[in-house]
Amino acid sequence: MMNISVIIPVYNAEKYIKKAVASVLQFQEVTEVLLIDDGSKDKSLEICSSLSQNHPEIKVLTHSNNQNRGVSASRNLGIDNATQEFITFLDADDYWLPNRFDAEREIFKDSKIDGVFGALSTEFISEQGKAEYLNKFGDHGLTTVKFAAEGKEIFHHLVAEPNTFGSSFSLIALTIRKTAISNPTLRLSPQLSIGEDKEFIIRLAYHKHLKTGIIETPIANRTAHDSNSITKITNYSGNAFYHQAMLYKSLYLWANSEKNFPLQTKTLFKLKYLSAKIASKAGIKKYILFATYTLRNPTLLKTRYRYFALKHNTHE
């Protein structure tokens, strides 16, 4: 039987945490649940402590001085403290479905498989959350990939242009061997507050042997409510372009640190970083930065990213 550690970062999630925890305790494979309170201001820590008293497999962790350090630092704290053979993730306002490990139980019999991921659906629990989600993402279908794949091809599919595979998948639908992320460099970036999961997934797909699991139907649900952080950022706003620039800057710096990294992909990361940084600016600053970057990086002028860079934004 698989022995699984579940890492759940918690921040002001008093309304949702009990349902999230109940959804993981339904599985006999879950032998450790790490609730990492990230400096919550509501009753989340009190609820987590109560849950741990009733369920010996639940452990509650906090940052020093109960600081709020963000979801990446919280997940990393969970990774560092996980003790079981497999590691999984769940957000405190989301929950797993009964088929969560149906594919994993079989696929992980192959020792070369480091990680398995599946599809995610969305449940709308408020009209405001639904409106913001649909405005952000355009539909409420599955977050999934479009066809089965494994190994290095997953990395190449994730970074391909044009992308016919799917730009990413969700951490809450990923199961990874603990040994696969024993290297402390395979952690989420605390410098990223948006897109940190995508950045981590791309690096993980490059270094480890991942495989698709159940991708046609959901194995977990995210909830769309009034407080989802990702939906608060307006598409094509200065803020949205800023976070995209930070994501691809991080990937570009990582690619530069890797030996024999594919030059085409490294160049793509750089172009996406530069064009998003330009797009995040408004007015004359945008055109000055465009002129500066294209002078230093003339390749930018030869690609479609020159149009992306000059997109007008709402500059929220």
Q: What is the pTM of this model?
A: 0.92
Is the pLDDT score of 52 beyond 90?
yes
Q: Which of 6, 62, 60 has the alpha carbon at shortest distance from 31?
A: 6
Q: What is the pLDDT of residue 314?
A: 61
Per residue in 76-93, pLDDT (tens digit) is 999 999 999 999 999 999
Lowest mean pLDDT: which of 25-39, 58-72, 297-311? 297-311
Taking residues 236-247, report their average pLDDT.
89
Phi, psi of 39 (to 5 degrees): 70, 40
pLDDT score for 286? 87
Sheet holding 115-117, edge to edge: 58-62, 30-37, 4-10, 86-89, 174-177, 115-117, 210-212
Model confidence at 302: pLDDT above 90: no
pLDDT in tens, 144-185: 999 999 999 999 999 998 899 987 889 999 999 999 999 999
Of residues 299 and 44, the one with the higher pLDDT is 44
CA dist 291 to 45, 78, 218, 286, Å? 50, 44, 46, 9
- pLDDT of 165 reads 95
pLDDT at 282: 86
| Secondary element (H or E) of residue 96 | strand 95-96
Quick one: pLDDT at residue 58? Answer: 98
Q: Distance from CA of residue 130 to its chain's centroid? A: 20
Instruction: Tell me the C-alpha distance between 172 and 274, whole Å.
Output: 30
pLDDT higher than threshold 60 for residue 231: no
Per-residue pLDDT, averaged over 53-76, amounts to 96
pLDDT tens-digit map of 182-224: 999 999 999 998 999 999 999 999 999 999 999 999 999 998 7
pLDDT, one tens digit per residue, over 3-43 is 999 999 999 999 999 999 999 999 999 999 999 999 999 99
* pLDDT of 309: 74
